[in-house]
Amino acid sequence: QPWLSPTNQELELIVYKTIGSTNQEAKKLALEGAKTGTVIIAEEQTQGRGRMGRSFYSPPKSGVYLSLVLRPEVAAQDAVLLTTGASVGVCRAIKKVTGIETQIKWVNDIYRGDRKIVGILTEAVTNFENGQFEFVIIGIGLNFKQPEAALPKELEDIVGTLFNEKPDALTRNRLAAEMINEVLSICEDLTNRDFLAEYKTHSMVLGKQIKVFRNNEWEVATALDISDEGGLMIKNQFGQIETLNTGEISIRKL
Ligand code: BTN
């Protein structure tokens, strides 16, 4: 009996103890033809990758690191929606398994309180002839409990864990399973955009003063709303309203 996704797609689960990067492996397999619904999970990554060319600290046994291969029939401009959908899926999974409410910092960092506990890296390969995705990799890294070794200094004030106390042994498995289920149930059918309203209820930036990083500097702005395409609508420093489709923001400490 195969594993099935919420929309009855067959899943192929590939589990590693240690790997360089699950996203890297998923991309390699997708280039070799891996089907939609292929999932790579690892206990540790030695070369975990983050957004903006950063690395993602992925110590053993204290996190869930996984990547999903999708071959969605959506236009490349809907890429932000996959990212938005993935973060809502992760919030749903955490709530379902642990009862814990989490917040999303646009685009898709997930926080518990003022600490980041989940990072998501979406990578896509596009077919230039029809503008559609060849495939998309959604990589999710959840910091589940305190790692055995001390955190690198530069992460100390930023990164947190879902649990402070020691969770029971099955919780990690259930979180991995539900993250896969919930993310796929949203991302396999982006015609249903109900998740956008849910995204807004989790957003920790709406109505706030923020800083936007572009042209190599931080600009002051106010976060107003999330567009139907998952973009962040802001009022910029000149009072004009614009929509950001990708990028990096920080919440201004007043
Ligand atoms: C970020 O916060 O910048 C995104 C981090 C994404 C990390 C996950 S862990 C599983 C997958 N494999 C990777 O190498 N990166 C993603």
Q: What are the structural domain ranges in the chain?
A: 3-202, 209-251
Give 121 Cα–ligand 1 centroid separation in angstroms: 5
For 114-163, how does the pLDDT look when each residue is reduced to its tens digit (9 = 90+)?
999 999 999 988 888 887 788 999 999 999 988 888 888 888 888 899 99
Atom of ligand 1 nearest to the CA of 42: 10
Average pLDDT, the chain: 91
Q: Is residue 3 predicted with pLDDT exceeding 50?
A: yes
Q: Is any atom of ligand 1 closer than 6 Å to the C-beta of 27?
A: no
Percent of the chain with pLDDT over 90: 68
Residue nearest to atom 11 of ligand 1 (CA): 139
ipTM for the whole complex = 0.99
For 80-94, how does the pLDDT look when each residue is reduced to its tens digit (9 = 90+)?
899 999 999 999 999
Distance in angstroms (rounded) separating the CA atoms of residues 99 and 178: 13
Model pLDDT, residue 80: 81
Say which residues have a Cβ less than 8 Å from residue 188's Cβ, sequence separation at least 6: 5, 6, 7, 9, 36, 70, 72
Model pLDDT, residue 253: 57
φ/ψ bin of 109: left (φ > 0), alpha (ψ from -120 to 50), beta (otherwise): beta
Q: Is any atom of ligand 1 closer than 6 Å to the C-beta of 48?
A: yes
Percent of the chain with pLDDT over 70: 98
Q: Measure Cα distances from 3 to 39, 74, 131, 189 in Å.
A: 11, 24, 31, 19
Model pLDDT, residue 21: 98
Q: Is any atom of ligand 1 closer than 6 Å to the C-beta of 122?
A: no
Q: Are 192 and 95 in contact (CB under 8 A)?
A: no
Q: Is any atom of ligand 1 closer than 6 Å to the C-beta of 63?
A: no
What would the mean pLDDT of 196-214 be, rounded to a whole number? 94
Match domain 209-251 to its CATH number in 3.40.50.2000, 3.40.50.2300, 2.30.30.100, 3.30.200.20: 2.30.30.100
Distance in angstroms (rounded) separating the CA atoms of residues 53 and 144: 23
Model pLDDT, residue 254: 46
Give 100 Cα–ligand 1 centroid separation in angstroms: 22
Q: Residues comprising the binding site?
A: 21-23, 45, 49-51, 116
Hey, is 83 helix, strand or coil?
Answer: helix
For 215-241, how does the pLDDT look when each residue is reduced to its tens digit (9 = 90+)?
888 999 999 999 998 999 999 999 999
Q: Residues comprising the binding site for biotin?
A: 21-23, 45, 49-51, 116
Give 56 Cα–ligand 1 centroid separation in angstroms: 6
Task: Using most ligand atoms within 8 A of CB, pick from 54, 58, 87 the residue to mutate for ligand 1.
Answer: 58
Q: Are 18 and 116 in contact (CB under 8 A)?
A: no
Give 22 Cα–ligand 1 centroid separation in angstroms: 8
Distance in angstroms (rounded) separating the CA atoms of residues 156 and 40: 28
Following DSSP, what letter does each residue of 115-126 receive, concatenated? EEEEEEEEEEEE
Atom of ligand 1 nearest to the CA of 109: 2
Tokens for 146? 């305190």
Superfamily classification of domain 3-202: Bira Bifunctional Protein; Domain 2 (3.30.930.10)
Q: Which regions of 5-95 does DSSP assign to beta strands (E)?
A: 10-19, 38-45, 63-70
Q: Is any atom of ligand 1 closer than 6 Å to the C-beta of 21?
A: yes
Task: Using most ligand atoms within 8 A of CB, pick from 14, 18, 19, 23 the residue to mutate for ligand 1.
Answer: 23
Which pTM value belongs to this model? Answer: 0.94
Residue nearest to atom 16 of ligand 1 (CA): 139
